[in-house]
């Protein structure tokens, strides 16, 4: 731990963001007084990595006897924050599972009552983060919930998204953007995202116009490029005695049993 700290925690590898009722001169004085003695040193280049080739769709069933609900997570490797398709993916995920009125939430919560909330997200980081969709569902409806998840994940790839749904998602993002800067912490989080990913500091000046420029064709291409139901990893944590047969009957892929520590169960 000490070696890792000495190697990577250096001024030349750090950015300091200050948001609040403070002037630039005051911030510089405060930072200098606390970090002035922080020794510079060479820092190794940031690591790069290529995601492994996706495998065929696989289920991991984690047994938790007596669980009141089943927890479902579905996903695969996504994209880095620097992707040129950031805005199409932002709009696409808003439609799929990124808002209360998204397809996943309306299907599993409002239409079927299987869960209090279903969602999806592309976790974009410096390197590719995961795409994941998930919910905590009624145990007896675990298999039915997986059916609906897969239905929506395939539908958004295979069928054109109606123009009204596209415009609704874009309006949701554009109108909600000011609230991201409503608090000091919110503003800090927005700019920290830019700093951590080496993005231009004026990115938010163009946010609404770039959201507005997304087309249905952009969404169709993004869905086919970045969502691959044939290679999803599906993790279900729940009472195996109650849910295993239903999952097997779906015939959506091989099932691997794991314990609560992730170890394979014979």
Beta bridge pairs of residue 255: 59
Alpha-carbon gap, residue 68 to 83, rounded angstroms:
39
Mean pLDDT value of segment 70-83:
96
Q: What whole-number percentage of the chain has pLDDT above 70?
A: 100
Look at residue 46 and tell me whether its pLDDT is greater than 80: no
Q: Do 25 and 67 have their domain in common? A: no
Q: Residue 52: its pLDDT value, please?
A: 81
Answer whether residue 60 shows pLDDT above 90: yes
Confidence band of 257 (pLDDT split at 50, 70, 90)? very high
CATH at 137: 3.30.830.10
* Residue 49 burial class via C-beta count within 10 angstroms: exposed 0-12, middle 13-18, buried 19 and up: exposed
What pLDDT does 54 receive? 81
The verdict on 137 and 103 lying in the same domain is: yes
The answer to whether residue 249 is domain-embedded is: yes
Domain that holds residue 11: 2-35
Q: Is residue 44 part of a domain?
A: no
The verdict on 30 and 132 lying in the same domain is: no
Q: How confident is the model at residue 225 (pLDDT cuts 50, 70, 90)?
A: very high
The whole-number pLDDT of residue 136 equals: 98
Whether residue 245 is found in the same domain as residue 134: yes
Total count of domains within the chain: 2
Residue 121 and residue 113: Cα distance in Å, rounded? Answer: 21
* pLDDT score recorded for residue 123: 97
Spell out the residues 6+ positions from residue 72 whose beta carbon is closer than 8 angstroms to its own.
134, 135, 136, 137, 142, 145, 146, 149, 234, 235, 236
Both 21 and 74 in one domain: the answer is no
- Provide mean pLDDT across the span 229-238: 96
In a domain, 264, yes or no: no
């Amino acid at each position: 731990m000490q070696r890792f700290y000495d190697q990577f925690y250096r001024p030349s590898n750090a950015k300091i963001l200050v948001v609040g009722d403070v002037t630039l001169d005051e911030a510089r004085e405060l930072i200098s007084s606390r970090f002035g003695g922080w020794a510079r040193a060479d820092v190794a280049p940031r690591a790069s990595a290529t995601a492994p080739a996706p495998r065929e769709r696989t289920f991991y069933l984690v047994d938790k006897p007596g669980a009141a609900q089943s927890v479902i997570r579905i996903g695969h490797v996504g994209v880095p924050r620097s992707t040129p398709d950031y805005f199409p993916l932002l709009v696409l995920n808003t439609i799929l599972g990124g808002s209360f009125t998204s397809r996943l939430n309306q299907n599993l919560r409002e239409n079927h009552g299987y869960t209090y909330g279903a969602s999806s997200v592309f976790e974009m980081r410096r390197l590719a983060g995961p795409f994941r969709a998930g919910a905590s569902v009624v145990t007896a409806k675990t298999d039915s919930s997986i059916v609906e998840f897969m239905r929506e994940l395939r539908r958004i790839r295979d069928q054109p998204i109606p123009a009204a749904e596209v415009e609704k998602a874009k309006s949701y993002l554009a109108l909600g953007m000011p609230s991201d800067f409503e608090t000091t912490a919110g503003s800090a989080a927005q700019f920290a995202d830019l700093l951590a990913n080496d993005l231009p500091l004026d990115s938010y000046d163009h946010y609404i116009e770039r959201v507005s420029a997304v087309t249905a064709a952009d969404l169709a291409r993004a869905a086919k490029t970045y969502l691959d139901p044939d290679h999803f990893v599906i993790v279900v944590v729940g009472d195996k005695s109650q849910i295993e047969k239903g999952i097997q009957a779906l015939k959506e892929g091989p099932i691997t049993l794991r314990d609560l520590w992730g170890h394979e169960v014979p």
